[in-house]
Structure 1
């Protein structure tokens, strides 16, 4: 379905790589600065959530786990191959990631008691650095596809 949507809007996969990389880079920069990204929740969304009776339906981590960055990565990975085997592997990987995330999220109360705020900030910044490197790879691969002369020089 994603390929048809990109075709309908005349968006090349390389343009999507660059835009997905930029989005990931914005999130990574916010993580490196140790603040909650505005790509996760804007001030208006936060105020709207405070006026609702229950905001527990959508935890703060959902935009990071299944937000624009994750969706971009899945779409880009889907273009790496074709066929039933490739898509079954993608489903298997997603299920594995969900199980790992469930384990990590289940451990959060224990981690919160045993890791200091400084430790959490250090880990957040380290993950921000890894996400920034991944974003650069997305952008570089997209630019090579958009401008083949760049790939010829390497």
Structure 2
């Protein structure tokens, strides 16, 4: 009886996470770095990026609640704030723009060393930025059993594997999809993310004001 609700929670976490990470949308930026640094080994860079993203999200998932408790921040308040952040990111994705909450042009221009770009800015903040971190912390609240945690960690590893595969074949994917295809995929992910962010905000509000639970 515990198995099905746990899997549902984890699947929601996975869908939200893969939407906010949006590795397809990161392909143009990734290729931009590769083209500017001809000596880069694409698959090695993809592996470093995926590993850094996985570690960042796992730390957020496991330790995020303790950080909130340390600062005296309720999960409900953080859920509302995270939902608002994801909403702004979703709107940027729907409009086909790169959200500045993930990375901006000044940060892109500041990269001087090839060995750094796999971690900064590709992993942080482009892929595992504030949205991915807050998503991990918020969903960890619903992880109340060993099934939750095991499946949740497996999903994070799956996300890392997906990132590695997509970035390893970024040039081929980019050629197949083209700019229009990449934009369409980004907008679809943005719509999914927007819907989930609204759910998060509504949940947070109902937690802060329990009286609304009987209304909605």
User: Following superposition, which runs of at least 4 residues in structure 1 exceed 6 angstroms of deviation?
Assistant: none
**Contact 2:107–2:121 (CA<8 Å) still a contact in 1?**
no
Q: Distance in 2 between matches of 1:78 and 1:7?
A: 13
TM-score by length of 1: 0.86
Q: Distance in 2 between matches of 1:64 and 1:80?
A: 26
In structure 1, the partner of 2:84 is 22
Q: Distance in 2 between matches of 1:116 and 1:4?
A: 43
Which of 150, 157, 163 aligns to 1:88? It is 150
In structure 1, the partner of 2:163 is 101
How many aligned positions are there?
Answer: 152
User: Which structure has more RCO (C-alpha within 8 Å, separation ≥ 6)?
Assistant: 1
Change (3 A) 1:142 1:8: same
Superposed, 1:6-45 pairs within 5 Å as 6-45=68-107
Which consecutive residues of structure 2, in runs of 5 or more, have no partner in the other structure?
A: 1-62
Which consecutive residues of structure 1, in runs of 5 or more, have no partner in the other structure?
A: none
1:52-90 superposed Cα distances (whole Å, 9 cap, x missing partner)? 243633354642432111111111221102344432222
1:29-56 superposed Cα distances (whole Å, 9 cap, x missing partner)? 111111111111234423423xx24363
**Contact 1:64–1:70 (CA<8 Å) still a contact in 2?**
no
The root-mean-square deviation of aligned C-alpha atoms, in Å, is 2.0
TM-score by length of 2: 0.63
